Structure 1
Amino acid sequence: MILQTNSHINPEKLSECQFIIGYFFNNTEVLEKALTHTSCKLENNFSNERLEFLGDAVLGMIISDYLYKTLPQHSEGELTKIKSVVVSQTTLAKVSLEAQLKNFLNVGRGLHDRNFLPKSLLANVFEAVIAAIYLDGGLEPAYNFTMKYLKKEVDIVCKNQHEKNYKSILQQHSQKEHGVTPVYRVLQQVGPDHGKLFEVSVLIKGNEYGRGWGKNKKEAEQFAAKETLKMIIPDMAYEIHEINNKACN
């Protein structure tokens, strides 16, 4: 249950939180501050706003250091693309839930009737906890906590980078330039059930662009998005193609 009170967090809850995240604080007040949302800000600006600011910087440094050391063959551009996904609000909210930080948040009464908390709130508390650990114990425990939850996310991005770039970049471009999300339409499927091939086309505002074949709809959509990028922004498509021809490991 989320704590929904303007009082300080119960010491038993703080102890449970430390056990779950795997770090025990010398000063539990910094952890309590990291878990206190601004919606129930207490005296002396007691909330996690400033810790979020610091945690964002510490997180960026940790992920940059990890990527630099573990992916020596990757260019600055490739490392930046991977990092942008790993430190995104969506990813941080995901690992925040895995760390069970939601169970220990001190939030204002205005959030009590929500079925779920905003991604931004979940991501911010993860960054705040990183900062709290950094202030309490230094860089090493902050590094260990961060990579405990984000190493697998780096691996996922590396493994699926070639599958994600085309559709995501096309979507960003289409929403920016046309105000719509691309639509993918299955044109045909051929072959037996155990070996079907799918052909998919991209529609933007009702106009058909690239087509692609794949062993499943998802793969076909990626190839269709790739062909569309070649048609509408060839320089970017070429860059993505070059990046995705390199393995992440």
Structure 2
Amino acid sequence: MNNHINPEKLNECQLAIGYCFHNTLVLEKALTHTSCRLENNLSNERLEFLGDAILGMIISDYLYKTLPQYSEGELTKIKSVVVSQATLARVSLEANLQDFLFVGKGLNDRNFLPKSLLANVFEAVIAAIYIDGGFEAAYNFTIKYLAKEIDIVCKNQHEKNYKSILQQYSQKEYGVTPSYRVLQQIGPDHGKSFEVIVLIKGNEYGRGWGKSKKEAEQSAAKETLNIFMPTPNLVSNNASETCSTSETCM
């Protein structure tokens, strides 16, 4: 069994992601999934761990610098979507990382790789670039792929999907997916209204009304997000003033 990725594949990967490694061994490790862990322990698990932390720092830094008018709660909501597994898996595919992965026999169909695997390899590559070329190189690579995702969230394309945002937040913070329970329904069959409540780890949070269960769930998810990450309307103006003052003092 060949214990190393084909050097030509590594070269192709570097061209695809737009970064040339000084030490291609670290890239090889980032692309090696645990399903084919070797005797020399060459796999990307530890790089995933480091990459997750670096990714969080980069996105937080970028949001803080580019969105001075946004409150802490709003920045947290944006970040939760941008660093979600779904988003990272999508940009991993855009970077064509699935074509360069070193995986075990059970994962040979690269058209059906798990989202978690795709997201993890993206984080591992961030860490590999950081180790090889420093923070600025990792920063440039990350923002190259995620700036447009940030822009999408800021343009409120995710705003109505509060359930999706809450799910990402809850999974990251509590390790569980929120559930929803109908509290009551009123009105005739042709015009019912529903009240729904959010449950996370058995605890009750936001409630919401809607003309359908789905609409009520979105309303309840929105209310729950406001509980976890309040974003008062008056915060934006105060935040802008604070940023101006801070820049003067720095």
With structure 2 as the length reference, what TM-score do the two structures score? 0.71
Aligned-residue offset at 1:114: 7.1
Aligned-residue offset at 1:73: 1.6
Tell me if 1:59 matches 2:52: no
CA contact (8 A) 2:35 2:103 kept: yes
Q: How far does the alpha carbon of each residue in 1:150-208 deviate from its partner, in whole angstroms, 9 at most, with x for none?
A: 00111111112432326754997xx745479xxxxxx99xxxxxxxxxx9965769xxx
Q: What SS is found at the alignment partner of 1:45? A: coil
Q: Match for residue 16 of structure 1?
A: 12
CA contact (8 A) 2:92 2:119 kept: yes
Q: How far does the alpha carbon of each residue in 1:38-72 deviate from its partner, in whole angstroms, 9 at most, with x for none?
A: 11011221010111111111111100000000111
Q: Match for residue 42 of structure 2?
A: 46
Indicate which of 126, 130, 140 corresponds to 2:126: 130
Indicate how the Cα distance of structure 1 residues 202 and 91 shifts in structure 2: closer, same or farther if over 3 A, else same.
farther
Indicate which of 25, 29, 33 corresponds to 1:29: 25
CA contact (8 A) 1:51 1:132 kept: yes
Tell me if 1:116 matches 2:112: yes
Indicate which of 141, 147, 166 corresponds to 2:143: 147
- Aligned-residue RMSD, C-alpha: 3.7
Q: Which runs of 5+ in 2 are unaligned?
A: 171-176, 183-188, 198-207, 238-250
Amino acid at match of 1:210: W
Tell me if 1:159 matches 2:155: yes
Q: Match for residue 218 of structure 2?
A: 225
Indicate how the Cα distance of structure 1 residues 113 and 152 shifts in structure 2: closer, same or farther if over 3 A, else same.
closer
Q: What SS is found at the alignment partner of 2:160? A: helix
CA contact (8 A) 2:89 2:115 kept: yes
Q: What SS is found at the alignment partner of 1:60? A: helix
CA contact (8 A) 1:17 1:101 kept: yes
CA contact (8 A) 2:27 2:125 kept: yes
Indicate which of 77, 93, 103 corresponds to 1:97: 93
Task: Tell me, in whole angstroms, the C-alpha distance in 2 between the residues paired with 1:67 and 1:121.
Answer: 26
Indicate how the Cα distance of structure 1 residues 170 and 210 shifts in structure 2: closer, same or farther if over 3 A, else same.
farther
CA contact (8 A) 1:166 1:222 kept: no
With structure 1 as the length reference, what TM-score do the two structures score? 0.71
Task: Tell me, in whole angstroms, the C-alpha distance in 2 between the residues paired with 1:224 and 1:136.
Answer: 46
Q: Which runs of 5+ in 1 are unaligned?
A: 181-186, 189-198
Task: Tell me, in whole angstroms, the C-alpha distance in 1 between the residues paired with 2:60 and 2:215.
Answer: 28
Amino acid at match of 1:225: Q
Task: Tell me, in whole angstroms, the C-alpha distance in 2 between the residues paired with 1:151 and 1:200.
Answer: 42
CA contact (8 A) 2:78 2:150 kept: yes
Q: What SS is found at the alignment partner of 2:210? A: strand
Tell me if 1:210 matches 2:213: no
Task: Tell me, in whole angstroms, the C-alpha distance in 2 between the residues paired with 1:78 and 1:153.
Answer: 15
Task: Tell me, in whole angstroms, the C-alpha distance in 2 between the residues paired with 1:99 and 1:141.
Answer: 16
Amino acid at match of 1:165: Y
Q: Match for residue 70 of structure 1?
A: 66
Q: What SS is found at the alignment partner of 1:31? A: helix
Indicate how the Cα distance of structure 1 residues 108 and 170 shifts in structure 2: closer, same or farther if over 3 A, else same.
closer
CA contact (8 A) 1:6 1:40 kept: no
Number of residue pairs matched by the alignment: 212
Task: Tell me, in whole angstroms, the C-alpha distance in 1 between the residues paired with 2:126 and 2:228.
Answer: 36
Task: Tell me, in whole angstroms, the C-alpha distance in 1 between the residues paired with 2:26 and 2:144.
Answer: 21
